[in-house]
Amino acid sequence: MSSIHLLLNSPVSPAAYNTRRSIKVENGRISVTSNGRRVVTCASADVRSPESAASSAGKLRSAEVMEADARVLVGTYARAPVVLSSGKGCKLYDLEGREYLDMTAGIAVNALGHGDPDWVRAVTEQASVLTHVSNLYYSIPQVELAKHLIACSFANRVFFCNSGTEANEAAIKFARKFQRFSRSDVKQPPTEFISFSNSFHGRTMGALALTSKELYRTPFEPVMPGVTFLEYGNIQAARELIQSGKIAAVFVEPIQGEGGIYSATKEFLQSLRSACDDTGSLLVFDEVQCGLGRTGYLWAHEAYGVFPDMMTLAKPLAGGLPIGAVLLTERVAASISFGDHGSTFAGGALVCNAANTVLGKISQPKFLASVSEKGKYFKEMLMQKLGGNPHVGEVRGMGLIIGIELDVPASPLVDACRNSGLLILTAGKGNVVRLVPPLIVSEQELDRATEILLECLPVLDESNSN
């Protein structure tokens, strides 16, 4: 047996700062306990890859990695007790060779799955030529990616960064600068922002101020002032506040991912567009999770026929490499000058070449149609197979971003599915199962995911009774 104890900081409450966790390995089972109570157990599921022939010594390798993690990394992540070492398509493998069907895609990042040959070729070929030069110089892949994004969107200009939260930080700055630039004769131009309930825009200080969950904001207050949170979908409240003349920009996710897979209505987005047009406020769509083919449309807002002044992107754009982007209209971009914003790593040749490949594959009409078809198929299967369970409420979403609302916490189901070889996520208040598989997932793999979910549902009865 091997064990360690580590002190993890948590933003939940003062008491949570004293939470003590223990990782133990015994008889091939990895357990995580919190304050003496077992919270996660990972069993040795019989889902090994054909190449696996793990020895007795090999069974401890994952535990060794987790122990090393606890010694050297800051405890910001409550990780599942799994060490993933390789992947292909929609399958992942841990160090002991166990196979997992991936319905997480690295939190909606690996749109082309793991090890896509075209993506691998784009990365390796570019790496052998030029990786990074900074934005002091021009590079071809950055220009080509910007041209590609403009050609398939509403935008006239692109700003590159390295993540979704960075993209939203840039959009905050651009909105403030636009208002100052376009109202140069006004002593105090609009500087405030609107965000919505269940929103998630990032964890850096500006984007965090736009994120509704107090759990994330409270430990780091004061965050950026001037943000008002309104009920997602409340047309009247949004219109009234926008008409006050104080709002620089409205940030909204056409489909909320982290918040629980809630979709905006067409009327809501149209109303925001109209109110912003009337007052000069900017409309920013955060499509970090729902954009780039996830809904069956290239951009989620295309389903509504409503277009923003700026759109923020990240997760799937470079297929697993770090990238973010803000897409802007010419009207907004005209207010931005040299030195107003920047990044050392943004738009690097390696990342942009990978992103060009991802965008080229996903933007094909046939590819997008397949996402839409598989999404409808998956949603129908889930409603048919799981809908009769008393714990299952609404099954919602569009394309391959799907949420299953439960009347109890979803974490026991997540653990049970993982032990049965299926990786899934939670969302909302922890009671929503979030399914965001690679967009290349097959119907057979969706069938298997549904079967495992069905087989594991009884764990919710056990958890509820305990």
Contact present, 361 and 324 (Cβ < 8 Å): no
Average pLDDT over residues 28-49: 51
pLDDT of residue 185: 87
For the cut 50, the answer to whether the pLDDT of residue 5 exceeds it is no
C-alpha separations of 372 from 165, 376, 397 in Å? 27, 6, 11
Mean pLDDT of the chain: 90
Residue-wise pLDDT tens digits, 440-465: 999 999 999 999 999 999 999 986 66
Q: Which of 11-20, 112-121, 143-152, 303-312 has the lowest mean pLDDT?
A: 11-20
Both tokens assigned to 120: 């691998």
For the cut 90, the answer to whether the pLDDT of residue 248 exceeds it is yes
Task: Specify the higher pLDDT residue, 8 or 328.
Answer: 328
For the cut 90, the answer to whether the pLDDT of residue 23 exceeds it is no
Residue 73 exposure: Cα atoms within 13 Å on the Cβ side: 11
**How many residues in total does the chain contain?**
466
pLDDT of residue 20: 45
Output the pTM of the full model: 0.88
Average pLDDT over residues 170-197: 96
For the cut 70, the answer to whether the pLDDT of residue 422 exceeds it is yes
pLDDT of residue 32: 57
- List all residues 6 or more positions away from 231 whose beta carbon is below 8 Å from its beta carbon: 196, 197, 237
- List all residues 6 or more positions away from 402 whose beta carbon is below 8 Å from its beta carbon: 261, 375, 378, 379, 382, 395, 396, 434, 435, 436
| % the chain with pLDDT above 70 | 86
Residue 102's nearest CA partner among 116, 88, 82 is 88
For the cut 80, the answer to whether the pLDDT of residue 380 exceeds it is yes
Confidence of residue 25 (pLDDT cuts 50, 70, 90): low
Average pLDDT over residues 244-266: 98
pLDDT of residue 7: 32
Residue-wise pLDDT tens digits, 296-339: 999 999 999 999 999 999 999 999 999 999 999 999 999 999 99
Which secondary structure element, helix H or strand E, spans residue 120, and what is its range? helix 117-127
For the cut 60, the answer to whether the pLDDT of residue 418 exceeds it is yes
Pairing of strands 99-102, 422-423: parallel
C-alpha separations of 362 from 17, 111, 251, 357 in Å? 43, 8, 25, 9
Contact present, 306 and 273 (Cβ < 8 Å): yes
For the cut 90, the answer to whether the pLDDT of residue 270 exceeds it is yes
List the Cα angle 235/241/247 in 5-degree steps: 120
**Structural domains present in the chain:** 64-109+366-463 (3.90.1150.10), 117-363 (3.40.640.10)
For the cut 80, the answer to whether the pLDDT of residue 49 exceeds it is no
DSSP helix/strand/coil, 118: helix
Residue-wise pLDDT tens digits, 331-373: 999 999 999 999 999 999 999 999 999 999 999 999 999 999 9
Residue-wise pLDDT tens digits, 12-22: 333 333 344 45
pLDDT of residue 184: 85
Torsion angle defined by CA atoms of residues 170, 175, 178 and 179, in that order, rounded to the nearest 10 degrees: -150
